[in-house]
Amino acid sequence: MTVTVENTHAPTSLNLTPSRRAVLDIVKSAGRPMKAYDILSKLQEVIKHAKPPTVYRALDYLVTNHVLHRVNNQNAFMHCQQHVECSKQQEERVSILFSCQLCGAVIENANHSLTAIIKQMTGSLGFKSDADMVECSGVCQDCR
């Protein structure tokens, strides 16, 4: 089933199965990063028979398509805050996630200079990076 998502911040065509759509809605409405098991318990309110692999497969698809991002330093998933940019320039651009270690809020930002520096560094090291994210942990303005 192919669904055209009307939200302008979402890509024009995502193959959203019911479980993918439910996982997307859950993470999106949370407004902050969520851990996989919290997503699972929410999902089970909608899809009773949902099992961990259902969630992991849906998350995998949504992360690969840059709709959700994995926040490694919180072991959690968040909705992309800049989706138009992330989906359009996924090969070109590295986003930075500023992650608050007190309240869990994440601010996503992107900077072309950062992308250029990372490309230059990986190039000179002969390293092939598959990262589209850099994480910076700290304390947000509200928690300081």
Closest contact distance (angstroms) between CB of 137 and Zn ion is 11
Q: Following DSSP, what letter does each residue of 105-119 receive, concatenated?
A: -EEEEE-HHHHHHHH
Closest contact distance (angstroms) between CB of 126 and Zn ion is 28
Q: Contacting Zn ion (CB under 5 A), which of 22, 34, 86, 106?
A: 86
Give the span between the Cα atoms of 57 and 106, in whole angstroms.
23
Name which of 102 and 117 has its Cβ closer to Zn ion. 102
Q: Is 36 in the site for Zn ion (CB under 5 A)?
A: no
Per-residue x/- track, 125-144, Zn ion (CB under 5 A): ---------------x--x-
Give the span between the Cα atoms of 90 and 21, in whole angstroms.
21
Name which of 41 and 90 has its Cβ closer to Zn ion. 90
Phi, psi dihedral angles at 143 (to 5 degrees): -95, -10
Give the span between the Cα atoms of 105 and 65, in whole angstroms.
22
Helix (H, G, I), strand (E, B) or coil at 20: helix
Closest contact distance (angstroms) between CB of 107 and Zn ion is 10
Q: Is 80 in the site for Zn ion (CB under 5 A)?
A: yes
Per-residue x/- track, 94-113, Zn ion (CB under 5 A): ------x-xx-x--------
Give the span between the Cα atoms of 143 and 82, in whole angstroms.
23
User: Residue 52: what residue type?
Assistant: P
**Residues in the site for Zn ion, rule: CB under 5 A?**
80, 82, 86, 100, 102-103, 105, 140, 143
